[in-house]
Chains A and B, each alone.
Chain A
């Protein structure tokens, strides 16, 4: 004796957001029912376990049927199969593309290939995210990547247009696409303390200031790659550390500005040359793809860790970087002011974002 068939179809598709979340989390129907019971669903409407099971199955089936559409969100609005009010459509899409930052952090910078997909088991067990959910998130990353990879124009807007996501979510996806495209190293132990949001912020900075689209607003340009010409020009910054006079002058300017304003003045004075050399060297090496990938590990190893060991506060660091970058303007011999500002603007905000425990 068993229920052979059990369906419920509404003219307006009935969607329970809580159950949707359980489905997105990759729960099985049984687990979902258990979770719902624990959440007190039985108190509602004099339900019993049987009712709950039927409802959960039905909802899961509905979501499964919607999934095909959700994978190309632009179809959701003009498909005829499900009558879903616009705000619910937005909710469905947004939630479908939302991801766990824990998961995204793991995948960040990795190639979005089959190989990585095989590692999802490990990521799942590491983060405690159900494999099914990992797969969905990974497939979303890959899908978005594939669509916008070859598209011209601003990355965030492209993502928004094709996937109808909110601005915030589209920016996160832009970061993921950007990292996956440039394959930034994020997996090293020393980088483990950085969250997805830290990287996403940095990616946003890089996209906004270092890509082709950043300078040129012509739509044809691509946002995914860093501007080659700019990276090449960064070599010219070497003069700041190679020219001893300039380095000394720079140091004295910064020290004059900061005297009495930061607690770690003496440490700063002592390590100024090393720090400056580190930043300039990172800049000059960015012509090599390998070194681009290592941007973040370099920043941590060569700049953040020394500062941290000297117990710089974030305020001290901010003041230092501000004056470090602005005092270059008064160096008369230095000609690459524009390049310097473009470089330091991004580096400064990235370092400040990354400077935490």
Chain B
């Protein structure tokens, strides 16, 4: 389906001097799309040329529109010799292809050269006319919206979450082609940049097609990565979550109702999910799987949960099989345990006409269990069995859910935050790694090997999740680390049980709502349910359970825990069991009950490795990996205890491979979940035969640790949980309930009851100092310095305990490269690496001290080993100031307000929409003079002004679409951009020639502001190279400039789309290579994010809410279609 791309070159400014004689430039522009090229006239002798060209029109297929960037080259005309290129601008026109995103690209864009960096700016106008009507347009993949944001975008609501989409594209890396030997570095860099642009366009288009196939209209949590494999090629891969999104409108659509619990799916999945794991209790199942796949140099480690810290790695091999056997064990055992299967029975009986009691339930779970080992088809099989057992309606429902979740290959979700009620239970972290030897990709069109590799890993993840009793994996991500020809593929996520509400077709909605009623009624008596049959029970009770603790409740059968764990009753509701520690890769659910504040917790590890080649190398790495992971987990657990916390969110473990070492960095945000038991302290135990000095040493250490714990508790405002207990006052006297339960347990299973009894709440975590490793551990524990006063840090979206953000935000990227000496021991390396990270953090705090009180959010560390003896650490995060005064008094209120307003999608937000529309509907003196008068003085005023204009545009858009649906696309496109360009111009004249402020943040929101429109995804790839490193200020000067340039280009492109912010920004790649001897350096950076328009909340409140209803209705009509 063809479209017409139109581009107009308006002017240039700040061009470099290309003609030394005159100190001027004779510039002209080439505009290229696909194979068509247009040229402007030469504008002689000026550094600020005014081309004011005609509209260059390209008639192209939409496939090309999606794949190709618009390429603008600025050149200096030279009569006698070849024209010199000044630089290029690549424009991704994808945002223009989606009707709900941007409509025109217009503004000053930096002209970029891979050798010289930014060389002036060019003002362009780009539009797309699609020849087809909206409906036919939607048939193609280019209507699909992409979001980097890993939650449902703010001004949308999820009608349906379809699930995982993935795709990868491979090609030869131009840098490694033979031609590279004869062409200039510039040509090579540009070939590479262009190729990656093309590849990501293609990738996005292919993913879009998959989404359309699934019936979705958007990809959320879109994560695109590059693997620069070197000789063997270039892989661009992406994963995301396909959704059907709907712009939030006035109608409180049924699906938004905070009820979840469509039982069908839970029923279906929960049985299978029975042996699921919450949190990260100790498990040793992790490194086991490796053995199976090691033969084919494929090796993978799965760490479904935290390793038990007291366990030594060598034990694992023996324990692991046991962990595995547990699953089938459950199936056999379950029927014999009436207690466990009891509770769900009445529940279902209420809901559905017929339901088979415990026996069938357990049988079902066992059947699903066996299916675990099989491939994707499993879901269908168990669905069938369920149908036989249950009534027809239930069968139908089950099948539906089944199909919703399991028909797909992978029940994975790249989301890290969820609509309320979507996330029912959180299992532990599941992860898989595999070491591969890279080989040349022979046929780029069929990247089977790479696909197969990832498939293997995903299967592994899937089976881990199932082994943990969870039917889904959330917060899922994939990454690679490449060194020479060895590649580590990693995937991780959080096993979870989700509500099927968002995964069903609308037709089923009514039935669910019907079925919800009885559930609600029934659930009042739920406390009777002692067994807490994991997910099956929770499915019924999720509505009763306070949302603050529901996700912590274990979804699996406590009688058949596949590994030792401490279970206690939830400290919030007292009804369900919770684990003692919970590890996840997702964000802290907004509704979670948290005591105190959170903090960043990092485990850092360095391990030396012998230099090796090929398979030997891969094997060596494979052998090291489990130890590395085990130790990282131990460190995490220790540090968590040291801070007096009991849960980790946003856990991200990165393992980086170099020629002589392996680096592991685990980052997460520790919190104290009110629902979970208070963590015991850390107890240091020495060797048994000990002398006095040694004991003194030990007791000193113990004292230090205890001091640190209490200091940390104070710092993070973690008040003793005893207080919480009193406040809550559980309906059932706790001890009695407990003992009763224990007894019942012991009846059924001695092992478990023993476990439960043995772990008192106050039990300390024992650290044995019997070898140097342990000493090192303790050392590492105590070297972490606390954050300075006024600072908090986390790597998640929100910091528990802080809500009253001011609008002051500062996004930053910091990169450090450290050179090591040769011949370091593991311990030495560890210390260096740990100090490197600590110092980096310290520097960040110092740098941002003017923002105090402030929180560093989304602290995202990336480690790499660019070459032997170099460690590179890159951090991207945002510092956000908050109001300290308010926090105590109004904190709760305002906090709740923001919570409701900003995070959950419900009436509040709808109201916001009304307000917004109200403002939109009044193109009146009320708001406009206000915006204009302040423009000169205040940066925010300018934002405001532009956003106001944006709203006008929005309105124009919606009205047009709402009322005159039949207009042809040509007509449709014309009035809007004109209005826009006019308004833009006027806007600019008011604010002088200064540049509009564009905020950037790795978070999905902007404090104190409402995102009113998503303009499209920003995905940019740049290469910068220099042959005059010293002259550019050395490596630091070079990289500093480059990063600043990348920021500038991102901001300019966002501004050209009409936006004033980038959310969910991330720097996914920063590959830096240097050769100081040759005075050369090269760097590749890949960044992405969502371009948005936001308006300050304060403004919203000031505008009247009078004329809204009419407009909103129109807009609904328009947007809904």
Q: Are B819 and A75 in contact (CB under 8 A)?
A: no
Residues of A contacting B810 with CB < 8 Å?
A: 10-12, 14
Residue A216 at the B interface, CB < 8 A?
Answer: no
Instruction: Decide: B1035 and A80 in contact? CB cutoff 8 A.
Output: no
Contact with A5, one of B820, B1041, B1044, B1072 (Cβ below 8 angstroms) = B1072
Contacts of A2 in B (CB 8 A): 818-819
Closest to B1076 in A: A4
B997 touching A83, Cβ below 8 Å: yes
Determine if B1043 and A7 form an interchain contact, defined as CB atoms under 8 angstroms apart: yes
Question: Pick the contact of B817 from A5, A47, A50, A64 — CB < 8 Å?
Answer: A5
Is A260 part of the binding interface, using a Cβ–Cβ cutoff of 8 Å?
Answer: no
Q: Which chain B residues lie closer than 8 Å to A54 at the CB level? A: 839, 843
A270 touches B (CB below 8 Å): no
Contact A81-B842, Cβ < 8 Å, known A1-B818, A14-B810? no
B813 pairs with A9, CB closer than 8 A = yes
Most buried by B among A12, A61, A80: A80
Q: Which of B18-26, B75-83, B94-102, B1046-1054 contacts A (4 or more CB under 8 A)?
A: B1046-1054
Q: Which candidate, B628-636, B706-714, B987-995, is the interface stretch facing chain A?
A: B987-995
Q: In the docked arrangement, what's the CA distance between A184 and B839, Å?
A: 56
Whether the Cβ atoms of B121 and A8 lie closer than 8 Å is no
Q: Which of B110, B821, B843 contacts A51 (CB 8 A)?
A: B843
Answer whether residue B849 sits at the interface, using C-beta atoms and an 8 A cutoff. yes
Q: Does A57 contact B (CB under 8 A)?
A: yes
Does A55 lie at the interface of the complex (its beta carbon under 8 Å from any beta carbon of B)?
Answer: yes
Instruction: Report the Cα distance A78→B994, complex, angstroms.
Output: 5
* Interface check B450, CB cutoff 8 A: no
- B843 in contact with A8 (CB, 8 Å): yes
In the complex, whether B136 has a CB less than 8 A from a CB of chain A is: no
* Distance (whole angstroms) from the CB of B1085 to the closest CB of chain A: 11
Whether B994 pairs with A4 at a CB distance below 8 angstroms is no
* Interchain CB contact under 8 A, B939 and A86: yes
The interface size of chain B toward A, counting residues with CB under 8 Å, comes to 60
Q: Considering the chains assembled together, what is the distance between the CA atoms of A49 and B1040 in angstroms?
A: 22
Residues on the A chain within 8 Å of B820, using CB: 1
B1043/A9 in contact, CB under 8 A: yes
Which A residues lie within 8 Å of B1052 (CB)? 80
Q: Give B848's nearest chain A residue, CB to CB.
A: A14
Could you tell me if A80 and B995 are in contact, using CB atoms closer than 8 angstroms?
yes
Roughly how many angstroms separate A51 CA and B788 CA in the complex, as a whole number?
13
> Using Cβ atoms and an 8 Å threshold, which residues of chain B touch A55?
843, 846-847
Cα A45 to Cα B1036 with chains together (Å): 24
Interface presence of A38 (CB below 8 A): no
B849, A5: Cβ atoms under 8 Å?
no
- The answer to whether A44 has its CB under 8 Å from any CB of chain B is yes
Contacts of A5 in B (CB 8 A): 815-817, 872, 1035-1036, 1039, 1072
How far is A341 from B811 in the complex, measured between Cα atoms in Å?
A: 62
C-beta contact mask, A49-66 vs B, less than 8 Å → 1, else 0? 011101101100110110
Q: A14–B995 contact, CB under 8 A?
A: no
- Answer whether A65 and B811 are a contact pair too, CB < 8 Å, given A3-B818, A55-B846, A75-B14: no
**A271 within 8 Å of B by Cβ?**
no
Nearest residue, chain A, Cβ from B118: A81
Q: Give a binary string over A1-42; 1 marks a CB under 8 Å from any B CB, 0 the rest.
A: 111111111111110000000000000000000000000000
- A residues in contact with B832, CB < 8 Å: 1
Question: Looking at the complex, which one of B108, B121, B992, B1041 makes contact with A65 (CB distance below 8 Å)?
Answer: B1041
Q: List residues of chain A with CB within 8 A of the CB of B937.
A: 86
- Known: A6-B816, A45-B849. Contact between A77 and B1039, CB under 8 A? no
Q: Does B814 make an interface contact (CB < 8 A)?
A: yes
B599 proximal to A (CB < 8 A): no
Closest Cβ–Cβ distance, residue A15 to chain B (whole Å): 10
Contact present for A83 and B849 (CB under 8 Å): no
Asked if B818 contacts A61 (CB within 8 A), the reply is: no
B1037 at the interface (CB under 8 A from A): yes
CB of B812 within 8 A of CB of A47, answer no
Judge whether B870 is part of the interface by a CB distance below 8 angstroms: yes
Q: Does chain B have a CB within 8 A of A150? A: no
Question: Shortest CB–CB separation between residue A288 and chain B, in angstroms?
Answer: 38
A-chain residues with CB within 8 Å of residue B788 when the two chains form the complex: 45-46
Distance, CA A7 to CA B844, complexed state (A): 11
A48 and B1047 contacting across the interface, CB-CB below 8 Å: no
Q: Are A45 and B845 neighbours in the complex by a CB distance under 8 Å?
A: yes
A100 to B1035, CA, bound (A): 34
Q: What residues of B have a CB within 8 angstroms of the CB of A309 in the complex?
A: none
Query: Given the complex of chains A and B, what is the CA–CA distance between A46 and B1043 in angstroms?
Result: 28
**B-chain residues with CB within 8 Å of residue A85 when the two chains form the complex:** 939, 997
The yes or no answer to B384 lying at the interface (CB within 8 A) is no
**Least Cβ–Cβ distance between A256 and chain B, in angstroms:** 58
Q: Tell me the A204-233 residues at the B interface (CB within 8 Å).
A: none
1/0 per position for B796-821, CB-CB distance to A under 8 A? 00000000000000111111111111
Query: Which residues between 1 and 60 of chain B lie within 8 Å of chain A, taking CB atoms?
Result: 13-14
Shortest C-beta distance, A68 to chain B (Å), equals: 11
**B999 interface residue, CB < 8 Å from A?**
yes
Closest residue of chain A to B999, judged by CB? A11
Measured CB to CB, the nearest residue on chain B to A52 is B846
User: CB-CB < 8 A to B785: which residues of A?
Assistant: 46
9 smallest beta-carbon distances between A and B, as pairs: A5-B817, A11-B811, A4-B817, A77-B994, A9-B1043, A10-B812, A7-B1040, A11-B1000, A8-B814
- A selection of 8 A-B contacts at a CB cut-off of 8 Å is A1-B819, A1-B832, A3-B818, A4-B870, A8-B843, A50-B839, A77-B993, A80-B110
- With A1-B818, A77-B995 given, name 9 new contacts (CB 8 A): A1-B820, A4-B1035, A5-B815, A6-B817, A7-B816, A46-B788, A46-B845, A65-B1037, A80-B118
